[in-house]
Amino acid sequence: MSKQPKMSEEELAAFYASRKRKNWVLLAILTGLAVLFFVITILKMSG
Total number of domains in the chain: 1
> Has residue 1 got a pLDDT over 70?
no
Distance between CA atoms of residues 36 and 23, nearest Å: 20
Q: Which residue range is the domain that position 34 belongs to?
A: 23-47
> Is residue 39 assigned to a domain?
yes
The mean of the pLDDT values for the chain is 92
Is residue 15 within 8 A of residue 23, CB to CB? The reply is no
> Is residue 4 assigned to a domain?
no
Start-to-end CA distance of the chain, whole Å, equals 64
pTM (whole model) above 0.85 = no
Mean pLDDT of 11-27: 96
Distance between CA atoms of residues 32 and 38, nearest Å: 10
> Is residue 17 assigned to a domain?
no
pLDDT at 3: 74
Distance between CA atoms of residues 34 and 47, nearest Å: 20
pLDDT at 2: 67
What percent of the chain has a predicted confidence (pLDDT) above 70? 96
Is residue 28 within 8 A of residue 35, CB to CB? The reply is no
Mean pLDDT of 12-26: 96
> Is residue 2 assigned to a domain?
no
